[in-house]
Amino acid sequence: MAHMTVQVVTPDGIKYDHHAAFVLVKTKEGELGIYPGHLELIAVLEIDEMKVRRVDDENHVDWIAVNGGIIEINKDLITIVSDSAERERDIDISRAERAKLRAERELKEAQNTRNIDMEKRAAVALQRAINRIRVGKH
């Protein structure tokens, strides 16, 4: 069976490194499904979940919360570079829910005070928390 190597790299190091039969990510242009032999490509990623179907068990899917970044597809090596990423099994859902509540409060405060910079930061924090919760519940 043809396969690809998938690596997710953050400033803290390699967060994921496995062989895969299929990968699904969300780029700025939309969803991108990747099979072995995909055209070479570099794209900007959205804050979203990443789905990896591994080759060692076709029924097993790894879910990863990716907080933006870039994806590079080079032959059968997929490299994702992101500020942060977490595997489903590593996500503390209660912590993510607290982060969501905190971001919602900060977003309301920013909107009430018309602080555009604070509003943008809070919106991104909220998006990241929601993504972590969604991935953690798979």
Give residue limits of the domains in the chain: 4-89, 92-136
Q: Which of 10, 31, 6 is nearest to 83 (CA)?
A: 10
1 — pLDDT class (breaks 50, 70, 90) = low
What are the residues whose beta carbons fall under 8 Å from the beta carbon of 55, sequence distance 6 or more?
1, 3, 19, 20, 21
Structure-block tokens of residue 23: 């990968």
Cα separation, 30 vs 14, in Å, equals 25
pLDDT, one tens digit per residue, over 62-117 is 999 999 999 999 989 999 999 999 999 999 999 999 999 999 999 899 899 998 89
**What pLDDT was estimated at residue 2?**
79
Is the pLDDT assigned to residue 59 strictly greater than 90?
no
State pTM to two decimals.
0.87
What percentage of the chain has pLDDT greater than the value 90? 83
Architecture of 4-89 per CATH?
Sandwich (2.60)
pLDDT, one tens digit per residue, over 13-48 is 999 999 999 999 999 999 999 999 999 999 999 999
